[in-house]
Amino acid sequence: MDLTALLERQKQAVLEGDAERAASLAHEAIRLGFEPARCIEEGYMAGIREVGRLWELGEYFLPELVQGADAVKAAMAVLRPRLLESGTDAQKREKIALGTVQGDIHDIGKSLVAAMLEANGFPVVDLGRDVPDDLFVEAARRGEVRILGMSALLTTTMAVQARVVRRLEEEGVRDRILVMVGGAPVTRSFAKEAGADAYASNAMEAVKEVRRLLEVRR
Protein backbone atom coordinates (compact mmCIF):
# COMPACT_ATOMS: atom_id res chain seq x y z
CA MET A 1 0.00 0.00 0.00
CA ASP A 2 1.43 3.41 -0.91
CA LEU A 3 1.28 6.40 1.44
CA THR A 4 -1.43 8.26 -0.48
CA ALA A 5 -3.78 5.29 -0.29
CA LEU A 6 -3.03 4.78 3.41
CA LEU A 7 -3.69 8.42 4.26
CA GLU A 8 -7.06 8.25 2.50
CA ARG A 9 -8.00 5.10 4.42
CA GLN A 10 -6.99 6.72 7.69
CA LYS A 11 -9.15 9.74 6.91
CA GLN A 12 -12.05 7.47 5.98
CA ALA A 13 -11.74 5.52 9.23
CA VAL A 14 -12.25 8.76 11.14
CA LEU A 15 -15.20 9.77 8.95
CA GLU A 16 -16.78 6.39 9.65
CA GLY A 17 -15.99 6.60 13.36
CA ASP A 18 -14.17 3.25 13.24
CA ALA A 19 -11.67 3.37 16.13
CA GLU A 20 -10.51 -0.21 15.65
CA ARG A 21 -9.71 0.36 11.99
CA ALA A 22 -8.05 3.70 12.74
CA ALA A 23 -5.69 1.99 15.19
CA SER A 24 -5.05 -0.87 12.78
CA LEU A 25 -4.09 1.57 10.01
CA ALA A 26 -1.77 3.37 12.42
CA HIS A 27 0.01 0.07 13.10
CA GLU A 28 0.17 -0.50 9.34
CA ALA A 29 1.82 2.90 8.86
CA ILE A 30 4.49 1.99 11.41
CA ARG A 31 5.05 -1.42 9.82
CA LEU A 32 5.54 0.16 6.39
CA GLY A 33 7.91 2.77 7.78
CA PHE A 34 5.77 5.81 6.99
CA GLU A 35 6.29 9.02 8.93
CA PRO A 36 3.88 9.14 11.94
CA ALA A 37 3.63 12.95 11.90
CA ARG A 38 2.46 12.94 8.29
CA CYS A 39 -0.14 10.25 8.99
CA ILE A 40 -1.48 12.30 11.89
CA GLU A 41 -1.73 15.55 9.95
CA GLU A 42 -2.74 14.34 6.46
CA GLY A 43 -4.70 11.27 7.49
CA TYR A 44 -6.35 11.49 10.90
CA MET A 45 -6.40 15.28 11.35
CA ALA A 46 -7.78 15.68 7.83
CA GLY A 47 -10.51 13.25 8.83
CA ILE A 48 -11.50 15.03 12.03
CA ARG A 49 -11.53 18.38 10.25
CA GLU A 50 -13.96 16.93 7.73
CA VAL A 51 -16.08 15.49 10.54
CA GLY A 52 -16.26 18.99 12.04
CA ARG A 53 -17.23 20.51 8.70
CA LEU A 54 -20.01 17.97 8.16
CA TRP A 55 -21.25 18.54 11.71
CA GLU A 56 -21.44 22.28 11.14
CA LEU A 57 -23.40 21.64 7.93
CA GLY A 58 -25.87 19.49 9.85
CA GLU A 59 -24.92 16.33 7.94
CA TYR A 60 -23.24 14.74 10.97
CA PHE A 61 -24.69 14.66 14.47
CA LEU A 62 -23.40 14.16 18.02
CA PRO A 63 -22.79 10.38 17.69
CA GLU A 64 -20.68 10.86 14.55
CA LEU A 65 -18.75 13.66 16.25
CA VAL A 66 -17.92 11.52 19.28
CA GLN A 67 -17.07 8.44 17.20
CA GLY A 68 -14.78 10.45 14.95
CA ALA A 69 -12.94 11.84 17.97
CA ASP A 70 -12.60 8.35 19.44
CA ALA A 71 -11.13 7.07 16.16
CA VAL A 72 -8.45 9.77 16.19
CA LYS A 73 -7.62 9.09 19.84
CA ALA A 74 -7.23 5.38 19.08
CA ALA A 75 -4.79 6.16 16.28
CA MET A 76 -2.88 8.67 18.39
CA ALA A 77 -2.41 6.07 21.12
CA VAL A 78 -0.46 4.04 18.55
CA LEU A 79 1.45 6.84 16.81
CA ARG A 80 2.36 9.24 19.61
CA PRO A 81 4.90 6.91 21.30
CA ARG A 82 6.80 6.71 17.99
CA LEU A 83 6.81 10.48 17.70
CA LEU A 84 8.17 10.83 21.22
CA GLU A 85 10.86 8.22 20.54
CA SER A 86 12.08 10.13 17.53
CA GLY A 87 11.84 13.52 19.24
CA THR A 88 9.67 14.85 16.41
CA ASP A 89 6.29 15.12 18.06
CA ALA A 90 4.70 17.52 15.58
CA GLN A 91 1.49 17.46 17.58
CA LYS A 92 3.00 18.84 20.78
CA ARG A 93 0.68 21.66 21.82
CA GLU A 94 -0.10 23.87 24.77
CA LYS A 95 -2.06 22.08 27.51
CA ILE A 96 -5.66 23.01 28.26
CA ALA A 97 -7.43 22.51 31.59
CA LEU A 98 -11.20 21.96 31.48
CA GLY A 99 -13.74 21.75 34.25
CA THR A 100 -17.41 22.25 35.09
CA VAL A 101 -17.69 24.96 37.75
CA GLN A 102 -18.57 24.47 41.40
CA GLY A 103 -22.21 23.61 42.05
CA ASP A 104 -22.72 22.08 38.60
CA ILE A 105 -22.44 18.32 38.09
CA HIS A 106 -23.13 18.30 34.34
CA ASP A 107 -20.14 17.21 32.30
CA ILE A 108 -21.36 15.82 28.97
CA GLY A 109 -20.61 19.06 27.10
CA LYS A 110 -17.27 19.52 28.83
CA SER A 111 -16.28 15.93 28.07
CA LEU A 112 -17.17 16.38 24.41
CA VAL A 113 -15.04 19.52 24.22
CA ALA A 114 -12.17 17.58 25.83
CA ALA A 115 -12.56 14.75 23.30
CA MET A 116 -12.55 17.11 20.32
CA LEU A 117 -9.55 19.05 21.59
CA GLU A 118 -7.60 15.84 22.13
CA ALA A 119 -8.66 14.59 18.69
CA ASN A 120 -7.20 17.79 17.24
CA GLY A 121 -3.88 17.25 19.01
CA PHE A 122 -4.31 19.42 22.11
CA PRO A 123 -3.41 17.77 25.46
CA VAL A 124 -6.24 18.19 27.96
CA VAL A 125 -6.18 18.15 31.76
CA ASP A 126 -9.75 17.26 32.77
CA LEU A 127 -10.47 18.76 36.19
CA GLY A 128 -13.88 17.09 36.31
CA ARG A 129 -17.22 18.51 37.42
CA ASP A 130 -18.29 20.56 40.45
CA VAL A 131 -14.74 21.95 40.46
CA PRO A 132 -13.88 24.24 43.41
CA ASP A 133 -12.62 27.72 42.52
CA ASP A 134 -9.32 26.93 44.23
CA LEU A 135 -8.63 24.08 41.81
CA PHE A 136 -8.98 26.38 38.80
CA VAL A 137 -6.67 28.91 40.48
CA GLU A 138 -4.13 26.22 41.31
CA ALA A 139 -4.15 24.99 37.69
CA ALA A 140 -3.23 28.51 36.61
CA ARG A 141 -0.63 28.95 39.34
CA ARG A 142 1.24 25.74 38.46
CA GLY A 143 1.84 27.06 34.95
CA GLU A 144 1.37 23.67 33.30
CA VAL A 145 -1.61 24.77 31.20
CA ARG A 146 -1.99 27.75 28.88
CA ILE A 147 -5.79 27.81 28.62
CA LEU A 148 -8.42 27.34 31.32
CA GLY A 149 -11.84 26.26 30.06
CA MET A 150 -14.90 26.53 32.32
CA SER A 151 -18.31 25.03 31.61
CA ALA A 152 -21.64 25.87 33.28
CA LEU A 153 -24.91 24.21 32.33
CA LEU A 154 -27.14 26.04 34.79
CA THR A 155 -28.13 29.70 34.96
CA THR A 156 -27.47 29.48 38.70
CA THR A 157 -23.84 28.43 38.19
CA MET A 158 -22.76 30.50 35.17
CA ALA A 159 -21.93 33.39 37.52
CA VAL A 160 -19.26 31.16 39.05
CA GLN A 161 -17.25 31.58 35.85
CA ALA A 162 -17.00 35.31 36.50
CA ARG A 163 -16.16 34.60 40.14
CA VAL A 164 -13.25 32.36 39.13
CA VAL A 165 -11.89 35.06 36.81
CA ARG A 166 -11.98 37.50 39.72
CA ARG A 167 -10.17 34.97 41.91
CA LEU A 168 -7.47 34.58 39.25
CA GLU A 169 -7.01 38.37 39.31
CA GLU A 170 -6.97 38.52 43.13
CA GLU A 171 -4.38 35.75 43.29
CA GLY A 172 -2.18 37.50 40.74
CA VAL A 173 -2.23 34.69 38.18
CA ARG A 174 -4.69 36.05 35.62
CA ASP A 175 -1.93 37.13 33.26
CA ARG A 176 -0.56 33.57 33.20
CA ILE A 177 -3.66 31.99 31.75
CA LEU A 178 -6.14 32.38 28.90
CA VAL A 179 -9.76 31.80 29.94
CA MET A 180 -12.48 30.29 27.75
CA VAL A 181 -16.08 29.80 28.93
CA GLY A 182 -19.10 27.98 27.57
CA GLY A 183 -22.25 26.08 28.43
CA ALA A 184 -25.94 26.19 27.56
CA PRO A 185 -26.89 29.44 29.36
CA VAL A 186 -23.61 31.23 28.61
CA THR A 187 -23.54 33.89 25.90
CA ARG A 188 -20.78 35.82 24.17
CA SER A 189 -21.82 39.03 25.94
CA PHE A 190 -21.74 37.30 29.33
CA ALA A 191 -18.27 35.93 28.56
CA LYS A 192 -17.05 39.44 27.84
CA GLU A 193 -18.61 40.82 31.02
CA ALA A 194 -17.08 37.97 33.02
CA GLY A 195 -13.62 38.89 31.78
CA ALA A 196 -13.03 35.74 29.73
CA ASP A 197 -10.72 35.75 26.71
CA ALA A 198 -12.98 33.55 24.59
CA TYR A 199 -16.42 31.99 24.35
CA ALA A 200 -17.42 28.74 22.62
CA SER A 201 -20.98 27.52 22.13
CA ASN A 202 -20.01 23.97 21.10
CA ALA A 203 -17.09 21.57 20.84
CA MET A 204 -15.98 22.48 17.33
CA GLU A 205 -16.09 26.18 18.12
CA ALA A 206 -13.97 25.46 21.19
CA VAL A 207 -11.28 23.95 18.96
CA LYS A 208 -11.35 27.02 16.71
CA GLU A 209 -11.17 29.38 19.70
CA VAL A 210 -8.22 27.52 21.19
CA ARG A 211 -6.35 27.84 17.91
CA ARG A 212 -7.22 31.52 17.71
CA LEU A 213 -6.14 32.25 21.28
CA LEU A 214 -2.80 30.52 20.87
CA GLU A 215 -2.14 32.21 17.55
CA VAL A 216 -2.88 35.66 18.99
CA ARG A 217 -0.63 35.09 22.00
CA ARG A 218 2.20 33.43 20.03
Helix, coil or strand: residue 187:
coil
DSSP 57-125: TTSS-HHHHHHHHHHHHHHHHHHHHHHHHHT--TT----EEEEEETT----HHHHHHHHHHHHTT--EE
What is the β-pairing status of strands 96-101 and 147-151? Answer: parallel
What pLDDT, on the 0 to 100 scale, is given for residue 88? 46
pLDDT in tens, 48-76: 889 988 988 999 998 998 899 899 989 98
Are 14 and 44 spatial neighbours (Cβ–Cβ below 8 Å)? yes
Q: How far apart are CA 110 and CA 30, in angstroms?
A: 33
pTM higher than 0.85, yes or no?
no
User: What domains sit in the chain, N to C, each tagged with a CATH number?
Assistant: 3-86 (1.10.1240.10), 96-216 (3.40.50.280)
pLDDT at 10 over 50: yes
pLDDT in tens, 145-197: 999 999 998 899 999 999 999 999 999 999 999 999 999 899 999 999 999 99
What pLDDT, on the 0 to 100 scale, is given for residue 91? 45
pLDDT in tens, 88-103: 444 456 899 999 999 9
Residue 175 DSSP one-character state: G
